[in-house]
Amino acid sequence: MKGRYFTSESVTEGHPDKVADRISDAVLDSVLEDDPQGRVACETFVSTGLVLIGGEITTETYVDIPTVARNTILDVGYNDNTYGFNGEDCAVLTSIDEQSPDIYQGVSEAQEIREAQGEKNHYDELGAGDQGIVYGYACKETKSYMPLPITLAHRLTKKLAKARKTGQVPHLRPDGKSQVTIEYEEKEPIRADTVILAAQHDPELDEGALAQKLIEKVIRPVIGRWLDGDTDIFVNSSGKFVKGGPPADAGMTGRKIIVDTYGGYGSHGGGAYSGKDPTKVDRSGSYMARYVAKNIVASGVSEECEVQIAYTIGKANPLAVTIDTFGTSAVGDDRIVEAAKDVFDMRPAAIIDKFQLRRPLYAPLSAYGHFGREDLGLPWEKTDKKDELREKLL
């Protein structure tokens, strides 16, 4: 053990938990497409031949939820009965109710509006959809300001999925996982210590030949210079991976929250994102926390930053904002908090407006992470506030 080691994992969109996440987000997108004010809290469970979708949806539009679910499953790649799960003929059950009127009241008319005297602020109209704490994180390890282990783990699973879809590696099936361990020295990443890839495949495939092909076509192109002669590489370390997806392991919305965020770096408030409309601060507040953290690091104020925001249901303004730069800033964290409060409006309505969150953009986020996604042009990944922060703090 020469240094410090950190490990993160990722999964493909064919992993059962990610199938569930994608269905929930596809339902959300379908509501927002015609009804931007719709309220959605949609949960999905998938197992052998079964999809169960439940939750609370309040909307003025109609969504054919079973069709949305089937199309999502087919798009992921479960389109063959030999996989044990097929979007064409799996059972789809729904149990949907409207949002609780008590919650609806608190969200639609925040405490600040109820108690306001005289002129009222538009951004005070929307209360947080629940109590909770959310976290955002950023560091300088990669150009996307994400930790290296989760960045490489996501790249592996995306590359694996692409190899399946394009036929670059034939006979692959939708389920798959990756895991990357990076060795650090003096807080700097120096090498990949261990790389793991699990790829579901057809039963007749030779495991040895598949492993070699995945090493050459997926692992080496992704891990690149981080590999060395001492890196341990494991491909389908159980020997084979034929049975996968929902028939092998039941999937549920919200069970991959660490994969969705920073791979275990920093903290997590515990709330999942998928299937939730942006009035839920689990989702919108986390996006804002990432935006704040990334701009702080991009400004040069610190090398690393974690932001915590605390909310309570029915109140627009956060209860507290806490920032930890882990000793990497010459500026006190308390000063950074005050500057962040001046620069960033963390009320739910302001976040929704800033990031234009009442639109169908969520299904692509259901796999490969919600942060550091340079392929999607996400508004919370911009660093447009870095100059203002620098002027206030440096």
Alpha-carbon distance 22 to 45, whole Å?
11
- Clarify whether 15 is annotated catalytic: yes
Per annotation, catalytic residue among 17, 125, 304, 324: 17
Per annotation, catalytic residue among 22, 154, 173, 177: 177
- Clarify whether 154 is annotated catalytic: no
Per annotation, catalytic residue among 6, 13, 15, 159: 15
- Clarify whether 162 is annotated catalytic: no
Alpha-carbon distance 271 to 284, whole Å?
11
Per annotation, catalytic residue among 6, 45, 85, 241: 241
- Clarify whether 249 is annotated catalytic: yes
- Clarify whether 17 is annotated catalytic: yes
Per annotation, catalytic residue among 56, 75, 303, 388: 56
Per annotation, catalytic residue among 282, 304, 306, 324: 282
- Clarify whether 43 is annotated catalytic: yes
Per annotation, catalytic residue among 158, 159, 191, 276: 276
Per annotation, catalytic residue among 207, 217, 248, 250: 250
- Clarify whether 250 is annotated catalytic: yes
Per annotation, catalytic residue among 201, 255, 290, 315: 255
End-to-end CA distance of the chain: 39
Per annotation, catalytic residue among 6, 18, 159, 260: 18
Per annotation, catalytic residue among 280, 290, 370, 385: 280
- Clarify whether 130 is annotated catalytic: no
- Clarify whether 18 is annotated catalytic: yes
Per annotation, catalytic residue among 158, 256, 347, 386: 256
- Clarify whether 282 is annotated catalytic: yes
- Clarify whether 177 is annotated catalytic: yes
Catalytic residue annotation: 15, 17-18, 43, 56, 177, 241, 249-250, 255-256, 276, 280, 282
